[in-house]
């Protein structure tokens, strides 16, 4: 009788990953691809999928919704049980109707989607409204009450406006006021007029919602206007590339609400802190700088791998969906997961904290605990 087959000799368990590897968002897709490669290696170094190697197969959506739909249709026809991607909200939204009721499981690498409870779609990070509420709590605890907002005129901006209105209506936020609320068209190449109107209202902090390109345009306009107040932007700008490109325009205090991925120093001893330290060590050994986009797919990759380990390489989409939906007390780099809430994310308000960019240290420094609570040692 021959020797047992080694993991490398067994057929790979292939998981398709849809990313924008070319096109206008290629820089994001290529960062995610590097991290997924590191995750694949980690899974295989720790036993693979029941001793079979895991292999992420990358498919290029080129940042185009129609291509993403074509790719997903092909994968569905091939009876693939699980797919990771896409990285852009418009693309994930375009694919969701194809899989929502009967699979395959789709794990979106963007927080800007709202999967239906009980569906085959899951999404990373906590819902975006918790980012806003975390920032509100942080500012009101620091006596900053006069807030200004700049949002887009599209559906994304409408959603942001609804979240702002709902957040300010909460009793706990009664001291906060919306002193200026400007909007912009997604195609605008300058926000100088909106920023001038905001400055005239004398806010103590400014929130800007939009894509990384728009956020960069807004930061330029805020600098040009001499508006010297804290600025809050989306976690989508938490990349070294963005910080380097905007270095000469950045405000003194640039804030972000994001998950726990860069907060190992602030977490108590326990599984989540150890998980973060392990992953940070892996990235450091691989020479990969750790920012939002690099870490973004890690938990999704690990959750899918663990679901396959639990259900087996031949698991169906239904098996994998059921396994993920039952996960709880799961320590990831982004927070403590509990999918039993039914929100298809597993993370909530307590898994969002505030960060400030520290230019001379080239890092995002945690300035709050989960849900914006004060640090134990500020």
What confidence tens digit (pLDDT) does each residue in 317-326 have? Answer: 999 999 999 9
Q: Given this model, what pLDDT does residue 5 score?
A: 44
Q: Given this model, what pLDDT does residue 265 score?
A: 87
What confidence tens digit (pLDDT) does each residue in 350-371 have? Answer: 999 999 999 999 999 999 999 9
Q: Given this model, what pLDDT does residue 249 score?
A: 93
Which residues lie closer than 8 Å to 242 by C-beta, 6 or more apart?
Answer: 212, 216
Which residues lie closer than 8 Å to 12 by C-beta, 6 or more apart?
Answer: 52, 53, 54, 55
Within a domain: 275: no
Element housing 178 (H / E): strand 177-184
| 344 within 8 A of 128, measured Cβ to Cβ | no
What confidence tens digit (pLDDT) does each residue in 113-160 have? Answer: 999 999 999 999 999 899 999 999 999 999 999 999 999 988 788 889
Give the domain extent around 217: 128-262+352-372
Using pLDDT thresholds of 50, 70 and 90, give the confidence band for residue 344: very high
Distances in Å between the alpha carbon of 131 and those of 33, 191, 326? 26, 23, 25
Which is higher by pLDDT, 266 or 19? Answer: 19
Within a domain: 276: no
Using pLDDT thresholds of 50, 70 and 90, give the confidence band for residue 8: low
Q: Which two tokens stand for residue 280?
A: 């940070």
Same domain, 214 and 305: no
Q: Given this model, what pLDDT does residue 155 score?
A: 79
Within a domain: 208: yes
Q: CATH no. for residue 24? A: 3.40.50.2300
Residue 182 pairs in a beta bridge with 150
What confidence tens digit (pLDDT) does each residue in 218-244 have? Answer: 999 999 999 999 999 999 899 999 999
What mean pLDDT is reported for the chain?
94
Same domain, 358 and 215: yes
Q: Supply φ then ψ for residue 2, to 5 degrees.
A: -75, 165
Helix (H, G, I), strand (E, B) or coil at 207: strand
Same domain, 51 and 92: yes
Q: What's the whole-number mean pLDDT along residues 60-77? A: 98
What confidence tens digit (pLDDT) does each residue in 18-52 have? Answer: 999 999 999 999 999 999 999 999 999 999 999 99
Pairing of β 254-258 and β 353-358: antiparallel
Find the largest Cα–Cα distance for the chain.
83
| 330 within 8 A of 337, measured Cβ to Cβ | yes
Q: Is cis: bond before 373, omega within 30 of 0? A: no
The count of domains in the chain is 2
| 120 within 8 A of 102, measured Cβ to Cβ | yes
Same domain, 199 and 245: yes
Q: What's the rounded Cα separation, in Å, for the pair 145 and 349?
A: 21
Within a domain: 286: no
Q: What's the rounded Cα separation, in Å, for the pair 98 and 246?
A: 39
Residue 216: pLDDT over 70 = yes
Within a domain: 281: no
Q: What's the whole-number mean pLDDT along residues 82-93? A: 95
Residue 1: pLDDT over 90 = no
Which is higher by pLDDT, 261 or 214? Answer: 261
| Count of Cβ atoms closer than 10 Å to residue 174 Cβ | 11
Q: Given this model, what pLDDT does residue 6 score?
A: 47
Can you spell out the DSSP letters for 62-92?
Answer: TT-HHHHHHHHHHHHHTT-SEEEE-SSHHHH
Same domain, 225 and 368: yes
Which is higher by pLDDT, 173 or 266? Answer: 173
Within a domain: 279: no
Using pLDDT thresholds of 50, 70 and 90, give the confidence band for residue 377: low
Same domain, 106 and 148: no
Q: At what angle do helices 212-225 and 192-200 cross, to 10 degrees?
A: 50
Residue 329, classified by CB atoms within 10 Å of its CB into exposed (0-12), middle (13-18) or buried (19+), is exposed
Within a domain: 150: yes
Q: pTM of this prediction?
A: 0.93
Same domain, 11 and 91: yes
Residue 54 pairs in a beta bridge with 13
Within a domain: 284: no
Q: Given this model, what pLDDT does residue 217 score?
A: 92
Same domain, 205 and 100: no
Q: What's the whole-number mean pLDDT along residues 299-320? A: 97
Q: How many CA atoms lie within 13 A of 251 on its CB side?
A: 25
Residue with tokens 């000799």: 9
């Amino acid at each position: 009788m021959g020797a047992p087959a080694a993991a490398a000799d067994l057929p790979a368990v292939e998981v398709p990953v849809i990313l924008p590897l070319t096109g206008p968002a290629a820089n994001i897709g290529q960062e995610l691809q590097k991290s997924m490669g590191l995750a694949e290696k980690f899974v295989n170094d720790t036993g693979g999928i029941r001793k079979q190697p895991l292999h992420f197969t990358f498919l290029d959506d080129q940042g185009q919704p129609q291509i993403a739909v074509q790719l997903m249709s092909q994968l569905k026809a091939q009876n693939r049980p699980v797919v990771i991607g896409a990285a852009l909200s418009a693309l994930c939204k375009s694919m969701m109707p194809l899989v929502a009721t009967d699979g395959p499981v789709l794990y979106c690498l963007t927080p800007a989607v709202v999967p239906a409870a009980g569906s085959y779609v899951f999404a990373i990070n906590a819902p975006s409204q918790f980012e806003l509420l975390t920032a509100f709590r942080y500012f009101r605890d620091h006596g900053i009450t006069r807030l200004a907002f700049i949002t887009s005129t599209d559906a994304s901006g409408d959603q942001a406006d609804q979240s702002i209105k709902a957040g300010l209506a909460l009793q706990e936020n009664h001291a906060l006021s919306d002193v200026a609320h400007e909007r912009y068209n997604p195609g605008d190449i300058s926000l100088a007029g909106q920023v001038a109107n905001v400055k005239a209202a004398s806010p103590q902090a400014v929130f800007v919602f939009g894509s990384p390109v728009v956020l960069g345009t807004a930061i330029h306009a805020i600098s040009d206007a001499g508006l010297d107040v804290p600025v809050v932007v989306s976690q989508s700008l938490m990349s070294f590339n963005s910080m380097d490109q905007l270095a000469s325009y950045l405000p003194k205090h640039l804030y972000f609400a994001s998950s726990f991925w860069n907060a190992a120093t602030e977490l108590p001893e326990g599984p989540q802190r150890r998980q973060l330290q392990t992953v940070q060590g892996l990235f450091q050994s691989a020479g990969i700088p750790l920012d939002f986009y690099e870490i973004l797919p890690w938990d999704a990759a690990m959750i899918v791998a663990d679901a396959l380990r639990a259900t087996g390489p031949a698991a169906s989409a239904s098996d994998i969906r059921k396994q993920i939906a039952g996960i709880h007390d799961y320590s990831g780099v982004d927070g403590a997961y509990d999918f039993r809430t039914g929100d298809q994310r597993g993370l909530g308000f307590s898994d969002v904290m505030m960060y400030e960019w520290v230019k001379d240290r080239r890092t995002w420094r945690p300035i709050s605990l989960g849900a914006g609570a004060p640090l134990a040692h500020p």
